[in-house]
Amino acid sequence: MAQEDIFKKLVAHCKEYGFVFQSSEIYDGLGAVYDYGQNGVELKNNIKKYWWESMVLLHENVVGIDSAIFMHPTIWKASGHVDAFNDPLIDNKDSKKRYRADVLIEEQLAKIEDKINKEIEKAAKRFGDTFNEQQFRETNQRVLENQQKWDALHNRFAKALNDGNLDELRQIIVDEEIVCPISGTRNWTEVRQFNLMFSTEMGSTADGAQKIYLRPETAQGIFVNYLNVQKTGRMKIPFGIAQIGKAFRNEIVARQFIFRMREFEQMEMQFFVKPGTELDWFEKWKTTRMNWHQALGFGTENYRFHVHEKLAHYANAAVDVEYKFPFGFKEVEGIHSRTDFDLSQHEQYSGKKIRYFDPELNESYVPFVVETSIGVDRMFLQVLSAAYCEEQLENDMRVVLKIPPMLAPIKLAVLPLVKKDGLPEIARQIIDDLKFEFNCQYDEKDSIGKRYRRQDAIGTPFCVTVDNQTPEDNSVTIRYRDTMEQKRVSISELSGIIGKQVSFKSLFAKI
Ligand code: GAP
């Protein structure tokens, strides 16, 4: 099945099984805003827990905060967001649709890359074990031509971005003959900058209301609390501050479901270091964060680093962690070496000294910062994209979400085989005993096969069936979601078996 079709099915599945709903759906929805349902919120909370604990539990020099969404408006002037948090947009005059010029060009680059990868895949099949990819890339005419095209376009694109040359971005779109996917024409407007921040007003108009912004990143809440945390926590450099919270961006092109939203959640960590050591820390955090992703077991080949074509105004190094979504490799997380830009700017705009006194050097300096920044919603989509499977069984087909057990919304379903002979009571007792440890669900409706399918569809890793043998010897069957294997075990063993699988400990050991 084409990857795009799988993605459409995944989106439908998310709604049907209570993971994600369109916001304000009964009013026909609100563009690029989504709500999480009963299963979605559990998965989302587990992702946040995995991230939070991997930061503040595993690192004794990383602490958390929770700062407000509304902040003093000068913060956004100091951070550069008022002047430079822009996307270059372009309109198609025939379809009247608006696009991000940089995204149109990135998609063109991805098409060329696809052509190269297809040649390589074909050759790998043809030559089997003797295939040497490196040699093929260096000698195959078609691959070489496409690689040259890619390099030329990439260099031109990177230069245009770095120069902030909007005319050149448009010219690239024209020269590459990029068409609007809706109208199919090349009738483009000029490229213009569009600021992504939402604003509102605080206070009544009589008092002179103040224009304030909904934060477009959580990071600034960390920067402006740097001194508070460093002093009250007696933190010594290097140390980090972690935060999970909502962010808002008036995205021009909000497509691909929860991949690009106007209201979303970020998990960010700012790591404060001695000037000059930032690039070493940048490398360390790159490794740690890639390990965090890959520990989930979705296949190392599905992740890669992408080095930024254009560095943000605050960075001296930046990479994205990309995952192979059904619509191609896309960013899940950004890792940036942000220099001392933010703290220095806040020093200047607030007039307060934001320094660290280094007892070893006997001097004060503005710390440099390495940031890791990941979107909760994008991570959620990554997990579901990787977990969604359609499996052909002997007489049946099943849709199963192979979510890692520690992230699964429901850990355990307890199913009495029949609704009599005291089996429901035993099932309820098992839940009463285990509900303090795991999120459990009771289900007695329909055949056992149908009940298994319902649990597969929401990714429940374990189903426990109470049958006629249970009252005799206190044993039940435990069914494993991925293998569908069933084992007879004693009720008293359940806590140990499930506990081991759903604990984050095994993931943390790999980070
Ligand atoms: N503080 C740095 C920062 O915000 P970013 O690369 O703009 O960097 C970080 O965003 C992460 O936030 C991205 O990797 C992505 O996972 C998530 N993100 C950004 N914009 C988003 C959007 N419109 N919808 C969903 N997630 C988004």
**Tens digit of pLDDT for each residue in 260-271?**
999 999 999 999
Nearest protein CA to atom 6 of ligand 1, as residue: 334
Of ligand 1's listed atoms, the one at least distance from the Cα of 336 is 2
Residue 251 Cβ inside 6 Å of ligand 1? The answer reads yes
Distance 306 CA to ligand 1 centre (A): 15
Euclidean distance between CA atoms 478 and 417, whole angstroms: 13
Q: How many helices (H) and strands (E) does the chain have?
A: 18, 23
Helical spans, DSSP H, in 301-340 = none
Euclidean distance between CA atoms 85 and 194, whole angstroms: 8
Q: Could you count the other beta carbons within 10 Å of the beta carbon of residue 446?
A: 11
Euclidean distance between CA atoms 64 and 50, whole angstroms: 14
Which positions ≥6 away from 349 have C-beta within 8 Å? Answer: 74, 75, 77, 78
Distance 253 CA to ligand 1 centre (A): 14
Residue 373 Cβ inside 6 Å of ligand 1? The answer reads yes
Which letter does DSSP use for residue 475 in this model? E
| The pLDDT value given to residue 205 | 67
Nearest protein CA to atom 25 of ligand 1, as residue: 260
| The pLDDT value given to residue 206 | 64
Euclidean distance between CA atoms 154 and 99, whole angstroms: 19
Structure tokens at 97: 């649709």
Residue to mutate, 198, 264, 319, ligand 1, most ligand atoms under 8 Å from C-beta = 264
Nearest protein CA to atom 26 of ligand 1, as residue: 375
3-state secondary structure of 234: coil
Nearest protein CA to atom 17 of ligand 1, as residue: 375
Nearest protein CA to atom 4 of ligand 1, as residue: 217
Nearest protein CA to atom 2 of ligand 1, as residue: 373
Residue 51 Cβ inside 6 Å of ligand 1? The answer reads no
* Residue 474 contacts residue 492 (beta carbons within 8 Å): yes
Nearest protein CA to atom 19 of ligand 1, as residue: 375
| The pLDDT value given to residue 308 | 85
* Residue 321 contacts residue 331 (beta carbons within 8 Å): yes
Residue 443 Cβ inside 6 Å of ligand 1? The answer reads no
Residue 338 Cβ inside 6 Å of ligand 1? The answer reads no
Residue 325 Cβ inside 6 Å of ligand 1? The answer reads no
Nearest protein CA to atom 21 of ligand 1, as residue: 260
| The pLDDT value given to residue 3 | 76
Distance 217 CA to ligand 1 centre (A): 8
* Residue 382 contacts residue 323 (beta carbons within 8 Å): yes
| The pLDDT value given to residue 208 | 75
Each residue's pLDDT, cut to its tens digit, for the chain (511 residues) gives 677 789 999 999 999 999 999 999 999 999 999 999 999 999 999 999 999 999 999 999 999 999 999 999 999 999 999 998 999 999 999 999 999 999 999 999 999 999 999 999 999 999 998 999 999 999 999 999 999 999 999 999 999 988 889 999 999 999 999 999 999 999 999 999 999 999 999 987 666 789 999 999 999 999 999 999 999 999 999 999 999 999 999 998 777 899 999 999 999 999 999 999 999 999 999 999 999 999 999 999 999 999 987 788 789 999 999 999 998 999 999 999 999 999 999 999 999 999 999 999 999 999 999 999 999 999 999 999 999 999 999 888 999 999 999 999 999 999 999 999 999 999 999 999 999 999 999 999 999 999 999 999 999 999 999 999 999 999 999 999 999 999 999 999 999 999 999 999 999 999 9
pTM listed for this prediction: 0.90
Residue 331 Cβ inside 6 Å of ligand 1? The answer reads yes
| The pLDDT value given to residue 420 | 95
| Core vs surface per residue 254-281: b (16+ CB within 10 A) or e | bebbbbbbbbbbbbbbbbbbbeeebeeb
Residue to mutate, 243, 258, 341, 378, ligand 1, most ligand atoms under 8 Å from C-beta = 378
Q: Give the domains, in start order, of the chain with CATH numbers.
A: 37-67+218-392 (3.30.930.10), 89-193 (no CATH), 394-508 (3.40.50.800)
